[in-house]
A and B are shown apart, each in its own frame.
Chain A
Amino acid sequence: MIELGKYAGTVLAAYGVSLALLLGVIWQSVAANARARRALEAQEKNG
């Protein structure tokens, strides 16, 4: 077990906030890319 001492809350909060923001931008980027690819494929198929 990693010992974080009296600053455990500080360290975990910093890592938690950062990972949430990073995962958020990664998810948004991948989801938007998948949506754009599907929309373009549908348009090219129909057109």
Chain B
Amino acid sequence: MSIWEYANPVKFMRTSGAILPWAVAGAALCTVGGLVWGFLTPEDYKQGSTVKIVFIHVPAAMMAINIWVMMLVASLTWLIRRHHVSALAAKAAAPVGAVMTLIALATGAIWGQPMWGTWWEWDPRLTSFLILFLFYVGYIALWSAVEDPDSAADLTGWLCLVGSVFALLSRYAVLFWNQGLHQGASLSVAEGERMSAVYRYPLYLSMLGFFLLFLALLLIRTRTEIRRRRLAALQAREARA
């Protein structure tokens, strides 16, 4: 059995239909569980109760970058192998990625005001995240602007390749430029930098929840795109007849 079998829309619809209920149940359980558990954690000696924001901010930021990477893989699959389902999956993922980026930016600003004394700073990580958000918006706009689906998939595929530079910068900006306000990795494994277990475990659960939520939304949205494509094909056939 090959992974390319899932490039067949019928096979994809059948398999995704079977996975979807489990993804939805897992996403609901882990996201609600992680956020409630995180909300009940004790105050941090430095950050006070604002530490609870980490349970949304970190999973959202992680997904914002990883969704773009997933879109990159799907776009490359389209550009190289011309599998329509992969192009539709990239298109389906973009609005979810944009929302995750917006959540990371908004929660970061809300947390930054009392902790850093400012809503916004032109810090390397913050700035690269803002650019990543603009890339998401541009990517969605480009899909809407081009009428021919294959041309839209080609153009957005190339845009995705260019935007990947900023997705990587968002992840490693703190290492490239260390003059910014933003701290390093929240889940460092280095001795002395490791987050306390009280916060670490609910954070793991929340991260798993956000991943499953993305998976569920990706499946739903890709199924929507396949149905729209089939509907358009049927309407075109009817118009020709």
Annotate A28-42 by CB proximity to B: 1 below 8 A, 0 otherwise: 111011001101100
Is B103 a contact of A21 with CB atoms below 8 Å? yes
A5 to B237 Cα, complex, angstroms = 64
Is A47 a contact of B234 with CB atoms below 8 Å? yes
A15 to B40 Cα, complex, angstroms = 13
Is A14 a contact of B224 with CB atoms below 8 Å? no
Q: Looking at chain B's contact residues, is the secondary structure mostly helix, strand, loop, or mixed?
A: helix
Knowing A14-B110, A17-B110, A33-B224, the reply to whether A44 touches B234 (Cβ < 8 A) is yes
Is A36 a contact of B60 with CB atoms below 8 Å? no
Is B102 a contact of A22 with CB atoms below 8 Å? no
Closest Cβ of chain A: how far from B28's Cβ, in Å? 10
Knowing A18-B56, A40-B230, the reply to whether A8 touches B235 (Cβ < 8 A) is no
Is B50 a contact of A11 with CB atoms below 8 Å? yes
Is A29 a contact of B49 with CB atoms below 8 Å? no
Closest Cβ of chain A: how far from B43's Cβ, in Å? 7
In the complex, residue of chain A having the shortest beta-carbon distance to the beta carbon of B38? A15
Contact of B102 among A21, A30, A32 (CB under 8 A): A21
When distances are taken between beta carbons in the complex, the residues of chain A under 8 Å from B57 are: 14
Contact of A40 among B40, B60, B227, B237 (CB under 8 A): B227
Q: Which residues of B from 37 to 65 have beta carbons under 8 Å from A?
A: 39-40, 43, 48-50, 52-53, 56-57, 60
- Asked whether any CB of chain A lies closer than 8 Å to the CB of B171, the reply is no
Q: Which residues of B from 42 to 99 have beta carbons under 8 Å from A?
A: 43, 48-50, 52-53, 56-57, 60, 95-96, 99
Of B56, B57, B213, B224, the most chain A CB neighbours within 10 A belong to: B224
A32 to B98 Cα, complex, angstroms = 17
In the complex, residue of chain A having the shortest beta-carbon distance to the beta carbon of B103? A18
- Asked whether any CB of chain A lies closer than 8 Å to the CB of B10, the reply is no
- Asked whether any CB of chain A lies closer than 8 Å to the CB of B114, the reply is yes
Contact of A22 among B40, B213, B235 (CB under 8 A): B213
Q: Which residues of B from 224 to 241 have beta carbons under 8 Å from A?
A: 224, 227-228, 230-231, 234-235, 237-238
Closest Cβ of chain A: how far from B82's Cβ, in Å? 23
14 additional contacts, CB 8 Å, given A10-B114, A14-B56, A25-B96? Answer: A5-B43, A10-B49, A10-B110, A14-B57, A15-B52, A18-B107, A21-B99, A21-B106, A29-B221, A36-B224, A37-B227, A39-B231, A47-B237, A47-B238
